[in-house]
Amino acid sequence: MEKILDIIEAIAHEKNISQEHALEAFTQALQNTAKKLTTFTSNFEVIINKDTKTYSVNKVITVVADGDSQLFAKVGKEPNIETIESDAFISLSEAKEFDDSIEIGDELKEEFILEEHGRTASANLFKELEYHIQRRIEQDLFEKYREKVGSVMLGTVNRIDADNNTHVEIGELKGILSLRNRIKGEKFKRGDSIRALLRYVSVDPQYGLFLELTRTSPKFLESLMALEVPEIADDVVEIVNSARIPGERAKIALKTDQMNVDPIGAAVGVKGVRINAVSQELNGENIDCIDYSPIPEVFITRALSPAITQSIKVNANDKKAIISITNDQKAKAIGKSGINIRLASMLTGYTIELSEVEGIAERQVDSSKNEVEKTTDTTALADLFK
């Protein structure tokens, strides 16, 4: 007995799981092995003494009323269902043959010794223990990485399969970056180091336990900004919302409650070093930083930059905004293939409609005309020195 428990402790250390989890797996393995050696309807309890490093297995029989339905169990699948007598329960009348003081709900326990069942018991126990230890390892890994959902993971590309899924090695697990979660135009090869956002942890019959990764989510942009901008990581600057068309353009709304901090300047960095680092990670994606405002009219106007708007009418109930804009600014507001107005709508949560008005928003003044002639006459200053 002591030798088996020492082996369990060694397995826990080798597999990097806690001794409690290893003992839970051992307990389940003992119960399943005992059922295989008797009947599946039997109930067993396992008692482990950590101080003496001993264990015992008891068969438990519960006393129920005469005629109780629990005395019988159904086995098989339709239409071949059979009813058999369950050995996990005993009627009160039968139990009183052993002890007149027994009542309904009492439990009769009988020690079950695995060693008496020879090699069959040993082989079954080994298989059960191996199975439950592996399930516990997977459960621990699942819990470990589930806590990291929404964070950026760093991994190494292992292979690209026939469906263009990128398989990435991340710690003890493998991550899968599917084609739809990859930025358009990105190409990876074996051995490349990549960063991606962990969407969720999943179990699949084909891949087993794996991590689904993405590089197209707006949350990936936000996480990268937090890594590059200390003010965002320290919650000095807050990311209110973000919108992306992966690989092309993105808008991110920022705000701060500290008067001496410029959220846009902090995000961009000196000479754009911070925002450029994020853009480079996103395959050259252009990133517009927007100063957030709780006033919808102001926020939507800023989100449409670089276009200059004339007026705006907002319906907060319908989440709709009608913007008056001149012809020379309309193309800027819409953007290439409608990217700018789509991003502005995604960022603000408003449906944006453009209403064209006459005139132009900007007029370039010819500096060669109306130039004020400079004078060299200083006599007008003479009175100042009297």
Listing DSSP states for 32-59 in one string gives HHHHHHS-TT-EEEEEEETTTTEEEEEE
Regarding whether 65 and 129 lie in a shared domain, the answer is: yes
What average pLDDT does range 157-181 have in this prediction?
91
Identify the band that residue 252 occupies on the pLDDT scale cut at 50, 70 and 90: very high
More confident position, 85 or 165: 165
Residue 164 lies in a domain: yes
Closest C-alpha among 208, 82, 77 to residue 138: 208
What percentage of the chain has pLDDT greater than the value 90? 49
Q: How many CB atoms lie within 10 A of CB 52?
A: 10
Residue 383 maps to a domain: no
* Averaged pLDDT for residues 18-45: 88
Is residue 99 located within the same domain as residue 28? Answer: yes
The pLDDT score that the predictor gives to residue 153 is 93
One domain, residues 14 and 100: yes
Per-residue model confidence (pLDDT) at position 184: 87
Q: Are residues 201 and 311 in the same domain?
A: no
Domain housing 233 = 218-292
Note whether 45 and 125 are same-domain residues.
yes
Of 229, 258, 292, the residue that ends a domain is: 292
pTM of the model: 0.72
**94 and 57 share a domain?**
yes
Beta carbons within 8 Å of 339's beta carbon, 6+ residues apart: 245, 248, 249
Do 131 and 10 lie in a common domain?
A: yes
When comparing pLDDT for 364 and 18, which is higher?
18
pLDDT, one tens digit per residue, over 342-380 is: 999 999 999 999 998 876 765 444 444 444 455 555 554
| Same domain for 190 and 115 | no
Q: Picking from 92-96, 169-173, 352-356, which range would have the lowest pLDDT averaged per residue? A: 92-96
4 band by pLDDT with thresholds 50, 70 and 90: confident
- CATH number of residue 160's parent domain: 2.40.50.140
124 and 9 fall within a common domain: yes
Examine residue 163 and state whether it is found in any structural domain, yes or no: yes
Q: Is residue 386 part of a domain?
A: no
Mean pLDDT of the 296-310 span: 93
Tell me if 346 is assigned to some domain.
Answer: yes
Average pLDDT estimate for 63-92:
76
Q: Is residue 382 part of a domain?
A: no
How many separate domains does the chain show?
4
Q: Which pLDDT does position 70 carry in this prediction?
A: 79
- In a shared domain, residues 70 and 128: yes
370: in domain: no
Of 324 and 374, the structure prediction assigns the larger pLDDT to: 324
* Whether 52 and 107 share a structural domain: yes
User: Mean per-residue pLDDT for 206-214?
Assistant: 85
Summarize the confidence of residues 292-309 as an average pLDDT. 93
* Spacing of C-alpha 31 from chain mean position: 35
Q: Which residue has the higher pLDDT, 68 or 246?
A: 246
In the prediction, which pLDDT does 363 show? 44
Question: For residue 78, what pLDDT is reported?
Answer: 66
Last residue of a domain, one of 143, 168, 193: 143
Instruction: Tell me how far apart the alpha carbons of residues 32 and 128 are, in angstroms, rounded to a whole number.
Output: 7
- Residue 317 is given by DSSP the state T
Domain end (from 114, 143, 172): 143
What pLDDT sits at residue 182?
A: 93
Would you place residue 82 in the very low, low, confident or very high pLDDT band (cuts 50, 70, 90)? low
Question: What's the CATH number where 333 sits?
Answer: 3.30.300.20
Are 108 and 60 part of one and the same domain?
A: yes
CB 199 within 8 A of CB 217: yes
Average model confidence (pLDDT) across the chain: 86
372 inside domain: no
pLDDT of residue 383: 55
When mean pLDDT is compared across 168-177, 253-262, 302-311, 358-367, the lowest value belongs to: 358-367
Q: Which of 342, 266, 355 is nearest to 304 (CA)?
A: 342
* Lowest-confidence pick of 34-38, 95-99, 351-355: 95-99
Q: Residue 169 — pLDDT band, cuts 50, 70, 90?
A: very high
Q: What is the pLDDT of residue 277?
A: 95
